Structure 1
Amino acid sequence: MCRLFGYVTDSPCAVADLLGEEGLRAFTSLTSVHADGWGMAWHTPEGTRTTSSPHSAQVDETYRRLVDTPLSDAGFVHLRWATGGLDVRPENTHPFLTDGAAFAHNGHISPIAELEALLTPESRQRLRGDTDSERYFHFVHQTVEKYGDEAEGVSRALATLVRKFPRCSLNALMLTPTHMFAIHINSRADSPLRALRELFDDEGDIPPRHTTEYFAMDYRRTDQGLEIVSSGLDQPGWTPVPADTAVMVDLATREVTRLDPIAQLGADAMRAHD
């Protein structure tokens, strides 16, 4: 369970410039909960680049250097809070990268064994860690490969996961060579209240909206482009992302296309009935 910040802009930007110093400080302070590693992905003409570390972003000099650097016109940052029982190690640190697609997840899908059972033998061979998030990514990736189309593959993969794991959060960002996908599907997932309360002596110290809207995502359009962020900043100017939606942003044109995996779920059910 984690925090995410993603952007698609008209020119290379630094995360620090997009969020502003106050916003970056607020985002980085979320390591009071999400201290089990960090990672970044960004688009380049040569392909998608990623970096990650199992150390807290708050104390990692590389994190500060990279968020201050205008790396790209599209990318994302991930702060990890390891799901109970999953190790804090490089292989479990987001983002995951395959065939030019980078992926970071905010949520938990269980049982993990049932999720892994959806993978083809080829996808299983690509696994490096033991997280549900990596398995989620490879299921999406193999579905895109199956249909030969990113929008259809992502929609069909999400529809399957909603049907099989209705109480899990599928919140995620995925960056491919041509698109950014922002997924906000979690309406039946519960905030991790017990785990949050175990981290703090005073519930008032828990970051904003974590106890009530842990899986919320917000977005804003600026003169530079589009940004999306997990809950926790508690700043004006952001608009809530509608529940159970996903969008695809074209990196070249910044055109936003809404995907409807819930409608896809219904179409798949009718097809199976026929």
Structure 2
Amino acid sequence: MCRLLGYISTRNDITLRDAVGSAQLDEFKEISRIHNDGWGTSQISTTHRDAQVNDGGAPSPAAFENIYRTTEPAYLDHNFESLASTPARSSIFHLRLASSNLPLIPENQQPFTADGISFAHNGDISSEDGVNLVHNPDITVSPYEIAQTGGKSDSAIYFAHILHFRNAGFALDKAVEHAIATLREQYANSSYNCLVQTQNQFIAVNATGHDRLADRIAEVYDAYGQREKAADYRVIRYKQIDGGVVVASSGFEQKEDEGWEELPVNHILVADVATGAFEVRALN
């Protein structure tokens, strides 16, 4: 189970600190003492060079992408401050708390990225008796499709389902919806909260199967004396900013009077990276 934070900004590239505020970012970083199984980010930024120049290789792009993932927790990694201070037009940040005894290896760190799509998941996809998705041979996607993600976790298999439906011709937001619907046929009560980004779209989903706090999560937060921060553990909120939107799971202060709104359960937020316009609608 993890913490998610992401944003888009169409007016100009901004930093994560710009997007959420210094106090909130410091809280987000601090919670990595609990979510201490590594962290990662995927950022899309405006290039500093002339775009579409034939300079000997591929034509220079209008935007460049950074992918960073590590098994070191964010609060101990000096690269966190550097990347949180890197201006971007679109970013996803992910703090990991490994679930279901899945290994702490670089391949399982998020965001995953494939085919120009970045993906970060907050949830554990397991059966009612606790058997994780990774042990299920009866799934829609092939081993090759899972390998495309670079990961070996339930989150990687979730992402593989999105890629499967995207490759079948569905628009990205519809591919996300189809992936959730397919996985829910066997894992109805699992959490599918996620952030997805490309150079054209930014997507956030609140798709929890229930709102109760898992005993394991409660025990972890209790051990750090921060049980109150887990009260709304499965909540996703969003806030409109100038020329864009910021989306986050809980774990740092998100006041309603400062513009934060709750993304309802079983809803998807789809934003246009070019215009900053976004819609919130129920999942199909």
TM-score by length of 1: 0.87
* Alpha-carbon distance between aligned partners in 2 of 1:35 and 1:142, rounded to the nearest angstrom: 31
How far apart, CA to CA, are the structure 2 residues paired with 1:41 and 1:243? Answer: 25
CA distance in 1, matches of 2:116, 2:183: 23
- Structure 1: how far apart are the matches of 2:3 and 2:243? 22
- Matched residue, 2:29: 28
Aligned length: 258
- Same amino acid, percent of matched pairs: 27
Q: 1:8 to 1:200 in 2, by over 3 A?
A: same
**Which residue pairs with 2:91 in the alignment?**
75
Match of 2:268 among 232, 239, 246: 246
Q: Tell me, what secondary structure is at the counterpart of 1:31? A: helix
* Counterpart in the other structure of 1:219: 238
1:231 matched to 2:250: yes
Cα separation, partners in 2 of 1:47 and 1:121, compared to 1, 3 Å:
farther
* Aligned AA (2:92): F
CA 249–185 in structure 1, closer or farther in 2 if over 3 Å, else same: same
Q: Give the alignment's Cα RMSD to 1 decimal.
A: 2.0
**Cα distance in 2 for residues equivalent to 1:202 and 1:121:** 39
Cα distance in 1, alignment partners of residues 247 and 92 from structure 2: 9
Q: CA deviation at 1:116?
A: 7.0
Runs of 5+ consecutive residues of structure 1 not aligned to the other structure: 264-274
**Corresponding residue number in structure 2 for 1:171:** 193
CA contact (8 A) 1:3 1:79 kept: yes
Determine helix, strand or coil for the equivalent of 1:102: strand
Kindly state the Cα deviation for residue 114 of structure 1 after the two structures are TM-superposed: 3.1
One-letter amino acid of the structure 2 residue matched with residue 61 of structure 1: H
Q: CA deviation at 1:148?
A: 4.0
Structure 1 segments of 4 or more deviating over 4 A?
none
Work out whether residues 7 and 90 of structure 2, in 8 Å CA contact, stay in contact via their aligned partners in 1: yes
Separation in 1 of the partners of 2:137 and 2:268?
20
TM-score, normalized by length of structure 2?
Answer: 0.84
Q: Which runs of 5+ in 2 are unaligned?
A: 46-61, 127-131
Q: CA deviation at 1:47?
A: 5.2
Partner of 1:65: 82
1:230 maps to amino acid: S
Distance 1:41 1:130 in 2: 19
